[in-house]
Amino acid sequence: MSSTGANARSSLSIGEVLGQLRPEFPDITISKIRFLEAEGLIHPERTPSGYRKFSSGDVARLRFVLAEQRDHYLPLRVIKDHLDAIDRGLEPPERGPGSTTRRGPRAVSAVPMPGAEAFVPESSEVRMSREELLDEAGLEAEQLEQLEQFGLLSKRAGGAYDGDALAVATCAAEMARYGIEPRHLRAFRTAADREIGLFEQVVTPLIRQRNPEARGRADEAIRELAALSVRLHATLVKAGLRAELGG
């Protein structure tokens, strides 16, 4: 096989790359790919007329970036450091505290802010009935009713539950094992609403710009702020409990 023929087969258009990645990453868009290029995570070639040509290596890097964001909620600057290490033949650094890994359909994913579905829509791809949600999360019907009553989860417009509802329901079911009831979780809803108001001040100006680069920055800001919020909350809770218990 000639090198010319091999190169031709590895040169994909941005639409073809999108088609390869969408089955695994339903939220991927052309704007997202362009943003990742602008951030220096991929380096596709350009034709004389300016069209991008992606190699199989570019696709592999994209898959790595998207998986690290989805499964471990890492910010792009950290993922870029990992890629740089790999490019130098080194092992990427271990993930720091606060990163998580999805282990299956019941694993808990990050919960995006209201209004962020256009940027982080993985959870909105999930559709399940009430019975499916109860079975998947391991909840009792009464517990689900209380979660809805206290505003911790709700159905989508079409009457189905999405991935965010599953994440909340799964957390509530796990906490119930320790005797924590849905009514005890209202403080989480209140705290989340306050964080949403704070973070909207950062994200809203980017959303209003209505261009692909700004949308990419908004997507990354939402992911990173959500991850930092989880890490900060977990650290404060652990530190507070240790102090109370004299640890």
CATH of residue 165's domain is: 1.10.1660
Residue in 122, 149, 125 with CA at minimum distance from that of residue 66:
122
What's the pLDDT band for 93 if we cut at 50, 70, 90?
low
Tokens 């005797």 sit on residue = 179
Domain count, the chain: 2
Tokens 């090198």 sit on residue = 3
The whole-number average pLDDT for the span 133-142 is 91
CB atoms near residue 191 (< 10 Å): 12
In a domain, 19, yes or no: yes
Q: Is it the case that residue 207 has pLDDT exceeding 50?
A: yes
Q: Are residues 165 and 240 in the same domain?
A: yes
Q: Are residues 143 and 221 in the same domain?
A: yes
> Is-above-0.75 flag for pTM?
no
Q: State pLDDT tens for residues 210-243.
A: 777 777 788 778 878 888 888 888 888 889 988 8
What's the pLDDT at 35? 86
In a domain, 92, yes or no: no
In a domain, 164, yes or no: yes
Q: Are residues 140 and 206 in the same domain?
A: yes
Q: Is it the case that residue 109 has pLDDT exceeding 50?
A: no
Report the chain's mean pLDDT, rounded to a whole number. Answer: 80
Task: Identify the three-state secondary structure at position 132.
Answer: helix
